[in-house]
């Protein structure tokens, strides 16, 4: 124990098991060693350590990391409170009493959060890369389906025709916003707090700028009391995980619907589906179902830390040890979900002709007909009313819009001409769109080319 000399009785074994964070903060071992090496270099510069002592510490830390990676040193969870104490004790075993000098001018309070800040920066970068890959998979799937018609929905009711490519690009846009949030979490974590000590800095004139530069932080923190208790940047990271997971869940839900017998629109690769132990005909979309299901746990990790923080007085409290398990879990879950979703998208087969007949002349084109009347000089509200009457008439006659004659259209308005049938055609419905950001094939194709250019070389 790093603090045992103050106490007469040995710390209770069950209490150590309850309080130890080693089982999960061992994920920080490489960052902890990196931080310790930077701290030792700084202590050498300000002559707390000799050059020889610093060399010993640097070599000792390298040995510990090497032994950990090759499995010859595994810290005992029943013996240590955390990875920091485990490394410090092992360092003393490896290099002798010089190892006891490493902790000069720092506390585990500022040490652990410096580790976590480095971890958040790296993890944010990794998630951005995983999002990039999923975006590229979606764009690759979208490209041959610029004219593949499908219903667009509002209220889960068929609304207007769109293309599959247009639909997929909506998720590319969502994921782009997710990348911005992870970039924000990177920026928020990009502050070196080492040198803040337990809560009030140090009487030793530490060179915090030197450590910050060596660890590649952009700045140092300005208030030690805040620095050691701040977990806002973890909440920012977890919130970015929340929204990415939510977007993946929405995409999963649609894939689940599209693969159902009722939709029958896409087919997932056999390597990403399962069967039933009872029903031999089943082909289940387990991967998107699991991605959808894991979203609840990711949301819970965010809410858990938010609840921990809500009543904590400044500065450090042991409650803050609860900041890491959910953080690691959310990263692993979101990253794995992104990787699986990308592979899943790559496996998809699309039934291109699935909706053409249903869309051709359907009531989904009623809005296009209202716009047609507007181009003929009729006010939109009046056009809307006319189309409502036409839809009612067609429904009563059990006809689609393209099954009505020009004479029947003229019964509702004299401005209808032969060109009306272009507005109720599956062949032309996408081309009829004029606005930027619409499913017009030329605009969707341009959007895909813009995205491909953006990802070129990434």
Active site residues: 155, 276
Return the CA Rg of the chain.
31
Q: Is residue 67 exposed (0-12), middle (13-18) or buried (19+ Cβ within 10 Å)?
A: middle
**Residue for token pair 């309070």:** 109
8 Å CB contact between 177 and 85: no
Question: Rounded CA gap, 269 and 282, in Å?
Answer: 14
8 Å CB contact between 440 and 430: yes
Compute CA distances 408 → 8, 158, 170, 182, whole Å: 98, 25, 38, 57
């Amino acid at each position: 124990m790093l603090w045992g000399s103050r106490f007469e009785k040995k710390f209770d074994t069950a209490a150590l098991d309850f309080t130890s964070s080693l089982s999960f903060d061992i994920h920080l071992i490489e960052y902890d060693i990196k931080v310790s090496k930077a701290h030792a270099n700084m202590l050498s510069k300000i002559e707390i350590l000799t050059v020889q002592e610093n060399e010993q510490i640097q070599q000792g830390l390298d040995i510990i990391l090497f032994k950990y990676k090759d499995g010859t040193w595994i810290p005992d969870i029943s013996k240590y409170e955390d990875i920091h104490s485990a490394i410090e004790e092992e360092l003393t075993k490896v290099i002798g009493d010089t190892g006891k000098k490493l902790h000069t001018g720092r506390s585990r309070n500022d040490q652990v959060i410096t580790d976590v800040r480095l971890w958040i920066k790296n993890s944010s970068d990794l998630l951005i890369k995983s999002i990039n890959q999923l975006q590229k998979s979606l764009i690759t799937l979208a490209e041959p389906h610029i004219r593949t018609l499908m219903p667009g929905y509002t209220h889960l009711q068929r609304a207007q025709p769109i293309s599959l490519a247009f639909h997929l690009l909506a998720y590319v846009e969502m994921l782009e916003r997710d990348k911005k949030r992870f970039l924000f979490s990177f920026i928020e974590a990009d502050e070196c707090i080492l040198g803040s000590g337990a809560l009030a800095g140090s009487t030793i004139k530490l060179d915090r700028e030197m450590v910050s530069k060596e660890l590649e932080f952009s700045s140092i923190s300005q208030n030690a009391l805040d620095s050691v208790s701040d977990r806002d940047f973890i909440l920012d990271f977890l919130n970015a995980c929340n929204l990415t997971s939510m977007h993946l869940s929405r995409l999963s839900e649609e894939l689940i619907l599209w693969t159902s017998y009722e939709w029958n629109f896409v087919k997932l690769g056999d390597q990403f589906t399962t069967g039933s132990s009872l029903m031999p005909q089943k082909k289940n979309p387990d991967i998107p179902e699991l991605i959808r299901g894991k979203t609840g746990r990711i949301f819970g990790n965010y809410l858990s830390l938010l609840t921990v923080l809500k009543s904590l007085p400044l500065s450090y409290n042991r409650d803050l040890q609860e900041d890491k398990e959910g953080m690691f879990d959310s990263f692993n879950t979101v990253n794995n979900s992104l990787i699986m979703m990308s592979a899943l998208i790559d496996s998809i087969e699309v039934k291109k002709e699935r909706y053409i007949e249903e869309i051709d002349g359907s009531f989904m084109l009623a809005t296009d007909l209202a716009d047609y009347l507007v181009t003929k000089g009729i006010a939109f509200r009046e056009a809307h009313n006319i189309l409502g009457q036409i839809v009612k008439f067609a429904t009563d006659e059990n006809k689609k819009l393209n099954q009505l004659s020009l004479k029947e259209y003229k019964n509702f308005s004299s401005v209808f001409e032969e060109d009306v049938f272009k507005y109720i055609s599956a062949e032309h419905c996408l081309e009829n769109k004029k606005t930027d950001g619409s499913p017009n094939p030329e605009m969707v194709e341009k959007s895909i080319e813009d995205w491909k250019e953006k990802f070129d070389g990434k």
